[in-house]
Structure 1
Amino acid sequence: MIQRNNSDCYSRPLLPVDRQMFGPDATAKALEMLRLHPSYRATPLRELHGLAASVGIQSVHIKDESGRFGLGSFKSLGGAYAVVCLALEEASRVLGRVVNASELLDPDVRTVVRNLNVGCATDGNHGRSVAAGANLAGCRANIFVHEGVSPERIAAIARFGANVVEVAGNYDDAVAEAERVCHANGWIIVSDTSWPGYERIPRLVMQGYTVMVSEILAELERPPTHVFLQAGVGGFAAAMAASLTLDIGPARPKFIIVEPDRAACLFASNKVDAPVKIAPVEPTVMAMLECYEPSMLAWGILSRLADVYMTVCDADAIAAMQQLAAAENGTSRVIAGESGGAGLAGLLAAAADPHGRELIGLDSHSRVLLFNTEGATDPTIYKNLTGIDPGVLVPA
C-alpha cells in the first residue's frame, strides 16, 4: 500500500528547535563526540550497481550499519550518545564546571556518574545502545524488554552490565512499565520515542543518528533524489529526513517512509493527518519496527517532510534480506537483519508497481539512498528466515 503525504504541514519549514538539533552544526557536535569512542569509524556506503540496473534507475547506495561499534545497529549512535550527554551534564552540574567527553575516565567524574541511573524500553537494539552508553559513561542502565524480545538480544544487553527487566506483553507494555518504574525510582528515561512533555532526550537520541548523514554526504558525489526510510515510531526516519533537508537545502530528496503492514502507525496517522495509536495484530518479523503509536516528535517532523508513506509485508522483508546477502555476486554483500532490509523492500515494491513509480517519481535519473539499519543481531532468527548462516557471510 502506498499514499501521498496528507498533512496540512507538508512542505512547511522545520521548527527552530529542529534546525538547532539536526542541522549541520549539531551533526558536527555529535560526530566530534562519537569520534572519541575508541572503535569509531565511518560505516560503509555500498553501491549496488546491478540492483539499480534491474529497477531502471541511475544508482542505489546503501548505508550499512551492521558493524557500527560492534553492536550491529544504527541505534548504537543514538542511545549511547544520549546517555553520555546526560552523564556529562550531571557531572558538570555537581562539579560546578563544564565537563567534556574527554574527561569520562576522570576519577571525580566517575564518582559523580556512578550514582546516575538511566532506563528505557526496547525491542533490542535501542536498549543495547543505552546499556553500552551507560557502560562507557560509568552509570547504571535498567532495560525493560517485552516478551517478544529474543533471549539472544536480551543476553547482548546484559553483557554490558545492565539490569534487564522482563515485562509481559508487547513493546507498548514495556514502555509503560519503564516509565512507571523510572518515575518511582527517580531514574532518567532515555527513550527513542517522545510524548507530550518529553522531547529533549529523544532529540538527543536522534541527534546521534545524524552522524550517518555527515558520513554519507562526505562520500557521495551527488546527493540522492530519493531516500527510503524504514520506520517504527519514526525517530530514525525523522532524524534522517530533517538532517538531509537541512544539509542539502531546497534540492533535498524525496522521503519515502516504509513500515510493516502489520504495524503501520505512521501510515495510519497520515490517513487522518494526526498521530494515532493502532491496535496490535499478528507480530511481524520486522521486530525492530513493530510499533503501534508514533513518536510525537517524529510525527511533527515527518508530517512536514515525508513525501510518501508505504507498507511492506513480511515476505517482502525476507526477500530483501536474501537479496542483500547475495548482492552483486558477493562484491557488495550486506548482512541485513529482519528490519534492516525494509527500505530495500519498499524500493522493490514501489519499482514493480507502475502507480508507485509514478507517485514516487522513480525514473532513469533517480539516485536512491537506502539504510541497512541492523545486521544479524539475532543470528538464529536470521538463519531461520533466510536459510543462510550469517557466520559464513563476510561483507565485501
Structure 2
Amino acid sequence: MMLLNQRPEHDQPLVAADAAALGIAGADHAEHYLKVRDSHAETPLQALPALAGELGVGSLHVKDEGKRLGLGSFKALGGAYVVMRLVLEEAGKRLGRTVDVGEIGDPAVRAIAAQMTFCCATDGNHGRSVAQGASLVGARSVVYVHSGVSRERVAAIARYGAEMVRVEGGYDHSVREAARVAAERGWTVVSDTSWPGYERIPGLVMQGYTVIVREVLTRLHEPPTHVFLQAGVGGFAAAIAGHLAIVLGAERPKVVVVEPARAACIYATAEAGRPVKIPHEQPTVMAMLECHEPSLVAWRVLARVGDAFMTVDEEDAVAVMNRLARPAGNDPAIVSGESGGAGLAGLIRAAGDMGTRAALGLGASSRVLIINSEGATDPGRYSELVSIAPQDVLLQTA
C-alpha cells in the first residue's frame, strides 16, 4: 500500500522546537558529543550500481549503520547521547558552571551520575544505547522489554549493566510501564517516542540521529532525490527527513516512509490525519519496527516533510536481508537485520509498480538513499533467516 501525503501542513516549515532540535546547531552538538567516544568512527556509505540498474534508478547508496559505535544500530546515536547530555546538565546545575562532555570522566561528574537512574522501554536497540550511555558515565539504567524481545537481545543490553524488566504485551505496554515506574521512583525516562507533555528528550534522541545525514552529505557528489526511511514510532524517519529539509531546503529529496504492514501506525496516522493507535495483532519479523502508536513529535515532522507512506510485507524484509547478503555484480555484501532493510524493501516494491514509480517520480535519473538501520543485532535469528552467519557475509567484502 502507498499513500501520498495530502495533509495541509505538507511542505510547510517545521515548527520552531523541531527545527531547533533537528537543525544544523543541533547536529553540531550531537557530533561534539560523539567525538569523545572511543569507538567513534564514521559508518560506511556503499554504492550498489548493480541493484540500481535492476531497479531502473540512476544510483543507489546504502548508509550502513550496522557498524555504529559497536552497538550494531543507528540507535547508538540517540539514547547514549541523551544520557550523557542529561548527566552533564545535572552536573552543571549542581556544580554551578557549564560542564563539557570532555569532563565525562571527572570524579565529581561521575559522583553525580551515580545518583541518577535512567529508564526506557525497548524492542532491543534503543535499550542497548541507553544502557551503554549509563555505563559510560557511571549511572544506573533500568530497561523494560516486552514479551517479543529475544533472549539474545536482552543479554546484549544486560551486558552494559542494565537491570532488565520483562513486561507482558507489546512495545507500547512496556513504554507505559516504564513511564509509570519512573514517575513513582523519580527516575529519568529516556524514550525514543513522545506523548503529551513529554517531548524534549525524544527530540534530543532524534537530534543524535542527524549525524547520519551529515556524514552522508559529505560523501555524496550530489544530494539524493529520494530517501526511503523505515519507521517504528517514526523518530528515525522524522530525524533524517527533518534534517535533510533544513539543510537542503527546496532541494530536499522526496521522502517515503516505510513500515511493516503488521505494524503500520504512521501509515494509519497519515490516513486518518491525526495520531492513531492501531491494534496489536500478528507480530512482525521486523521486530525493531513493531510499534503501534506514533511518536507525536515524529508525526508532527513527518506530516510536513514525509511525502509518501507505504507498507511492506514479511517476505519483503527477509528477501532484502538475503539480497544484501548475496549481492549481484560488484555490489558489496551488507549485513542487514530484520528491520534494517525495510527502506530498501519499500524501494524494491515501489520500483516494481508502474503507478507507484510515476507517483514518486522514480526513474533513470533518480539518486536513491537507503539507510541500513541495523546489522545482525540478533545473530542467531539472522543466520536462521539468511542461512549464512553474519560474520561469513562480511568475509565476502574483506
2:14 is aligned to 14
2:218 is aligned to 218
d(CA) in 1 for partners of 2:204, 2:138: 19
Give the conservation status (yes or no) of the 8 Å contact 1:6–1:271. Answer: no
Corresponding residue SS for 2:184:
helix
Q: Does 1:48 align with 2:48?
A: yes
Give the conservation status (yes or no) of the 8 Å contact 2:232–2:288. Answer: yes
d(CA) in 2 for partners of 1:242, 1:5: 15
Q: Does 1:161 align with 2:194?
A: no
Q: Does 1:227 align with 2:211?
A: no
2:255 is aligned to 255
Letter in 2 for 1:249: G
Closer, same or farther: CA 330–124 of 1 in aligned 2, 3 Å: farther
Give the conservation status (yes or no) of the 8 Å contact 1:8–1:273. Answer: no
d(CA) in 2 for partners of 1:173, 1:266: 18
d(CA) in 1 for partners of 2:139, 2:187: 11
Give the conservation status (yes or no) of the 8 Å contact 2:51–2:331. Answer: no
2:285 is aligned to 285
d(CA) in 1 for partners of 2:175, 2:45: 33
TM-score of the two chains, using structure 1 as the length reference: 0.99
Structure 1 vs Structure 2: percent identity of aligned residues? 53
Give the conservation status (yes or no) of the 8 Å contact 1:233–1:293. Answer: yes
How many angstroms does 1:328 deviate by?
Answer: 3.9
CA RMSD of aligned residues (A): 0.9
d(CA) in 1 for partners of 2:329, 2:85: 42
- Larger mean CA deviation between 347-356 and 17-26 belongs to 17-26
d(CA) in 2 for partners of 1:324, 1:98: 46
Letter in 1 for 2:376: A
d(CA) in 1 for partners of 2:387, 2:113: 45
Corresponding residue SS for 2:229:
strand
d(CA) in 1 for partners of 2:350, 2:241: 19
d(CA) in 2 for partners of 1:244, 1:224: 10
1:371 is aligned to 371
- Larger mean CA deviation between 11-20 and 369-378 belongs to 11-20
2:209 is aligned to 209
1:311 is aligned to 311
How many angstroms does 1:248 deviate by?
Answer: 1.1
Letter in 1 for 2:372: N
1:173 is aligned to 173
d(CA) in 1 for partners of 2:165, 2:93: 30
How many angstroms does 1:23 deviate by?
Answer: 1.1
1:339 is aligned to 339
2:150 is aligned to 150
When the two structures are aligned, how many residues end up with a matched partner? 396
Give the conservation status (yes or no) of the 8 Å contact 1:130–1:190. Answer: yes
Corresponding residue SS for 1:262:
helix
d(CA) in 2 for partners of 1:70, 1:331: 24
Q: Does 1:32 align with 2:32?
A: yes
How many angstroms does 1:113 deviate by?
Answer: 1.0
Give the conservation status (yes or no) of the 8 Å contact 1:49–1:328. Answer: no
Give the conservation status (yes or no) of the 8 Å contact 1:72–1:377. Answer: yes
Give the conservation status (yes or no) of the 8 Å contact 1:229–1:343. Answer: yes
2:92 is aligned to 92
How many angstroms does 1:212 deviate by?
Answer: 0.4
How many angstroms does 1:138 deviate by?
Answer: 1.1
2:113 is aligned to 113
Residues 96-121 of structure 1: per-residue CA shift (max 9 Å, x gap): 11111100111111111110101000
2:197 is aligned to 197
1:65 is aligned to 65
1:128 is aligned to 128
d(CA) in 2 for partners of 1:132, 1:328: 37
Corresponding residue SS for 2:46:
strand
Give the conservation status (yes or no) of the 8 Å contact 1:382–1:390. Answer: yes
How many angstroms does 1:327 deviate by?
Answer: 2.1
Corresponding residue SS for 1:327:
coil
d(CA) in 2 for partners of 1:20, 1:268: 27
Residues 308-339 of structure 1: per-residue CA shift (max 9 Å, x gap): 10000000000001111112457511100000
1:239 is aligned to 239
Letter in 2 for 1:68: R
Letter in 2 for 1:54: E
1:81 is aligned to 81
Give the conservation status (yes or no) of the 8 Å contact 2:50–2:330. Answer: no
Letter in 2 for 1:173: H
TM-score of the two chains, using structure 2 as the length reference: 0.98
d(CA) in 1 for partners of 2:169, 2:20: 37
Residues 263-285 of structure 1: per-residue CA shift (max 9 Å, x gap): 00111111111110000111000
d(CA) in 1 for partners of 2:340, 2:357: 22
Letter in 2 for 1:12: Q
Structure 2 residues without counterparts, runs of 5 or longer: none
Give the conservation status (yes or no) of the 8 Å contact 2:50–2:329. Answer: no
d(CA) in 1 for partners of 2:105, 2:55: 51
Letter in 2 for 1:142: V
- Larger mean CA deviation between 225-234 and 9-18 belongs to 9-18
How many angstroms does 1:384 deviate by?
Answer: 1.3
How many angstroms does 1:391 deviate by?
Answer: 2.3
